[in-house]
Amino acid sequence: MNNLATRSLTAVFFVIIMVGSVWLGQTVFSILLLGITYLSISEFVTIVSDEKLQPSPWLTISVTMISYSVLAAHALGFILMEWLVIIVPFLFLIFVAELWRNKKQPFLNIAISLLGIIYIALPFGLMIHFFDNIYLSGPMHYGIALGYLLLLWLNDTGAYLVGSLLGKHKLFERISPGKTWEGSAGGALFAIATAWGLSTIFVQLTTIHWLILAFIVVISGTLGDLVESMLKRSLGIKDSGSILPGHGGMLDRFDAVLISAPLVFVYLALFCR
DSSP 131-162: G-TTT--SS-THHHHHHHHHHHHHHHHHHHHH
Q: What is the mean pLDDT of residues 223-243?
A: 90
In sequence order, what DSSP letters do the residues of 115-133 get, joined into one string?
HHIIIIIHHHHHHGGGG-T
CA angle 184, 186, 191 (to 5 degrees): 95
Q: Is the pLDDT of residue 90 over 90?
A: yes
Q: Convert the pLDDT of each residue in 91-113 to its tens digit.
A: 999 999 999 998 889 999 999 99
pLDDT band at residue 142 under the 50/70/90 scheme: confident
DSSP 55: -
Q: 78 is in which domain, residue-wise?
A: 3-271
* pLDDT at residue number 152: 96
Q: Is the pLDDT of residue 251 over 70?
A: yes
Q: Is the pLDDT of residue 78 over 70?
A: yes
3-class SS shares of the chain: helix, strand, coil, % to 5: 75, 5, 20
Question: For residue 213, which of 260, 161, 158, 273 has the smallest C-alpha distance?
Answer: 260
Q: How far is residue 168's CA from residue 186's CA, in Å, rounded to a whole number?
A: 13
pLDDT band at residue 132 under the 50/70/90 scheme: low
Q: Is the pLDDT of residue 5 over 80?
A: no
Q: Is the pLDDT of residue 136 over 80?
A: no
How does 170-188 read in b/e, with b if 16+ C-beta sit within 10 Å?
ebbeebbeebbebbbbbbb
Percentage of the chain exceeding pLDDT 90 = 70
* pLDDT at residue number 2: 59
pLDDT band at residue 6 under the 50/70/90 scheme: confident
How does 107-141 read in b/e, with b if 16+ C-beta sit within 10 Å?
eebbebbbebbebbbbbbbbbbbbbbeebbeeeeb
Q: Is the pLDDT of residue 118 over 60?
A: yes
pLDDT band at residue 168 under the 50/70/90 scheme: confident
Question: For residue 167, which of 189, 182, 187 has the smallest C-alpha distance?
Answer: 182
Q: Give the number of residues written for the chain.
A: 273
Total number of domains constituting the chain = 1
Calculate the average pLDDT of the chain: 90
Which residues make beta-bridge pairs with 170?
Answer: 180
* pLDDT at residue number 135: 47
Which residues make beta-bridge pairs with 180?
Answer: 170
Question: For residue 25, which of 121, 137, 120, 139 has the smallest C-alpha distance?
Answer: 139
* SS3 state at 66: helix
Q: Is the pLDDT of residue 61 over 50?
A: yes
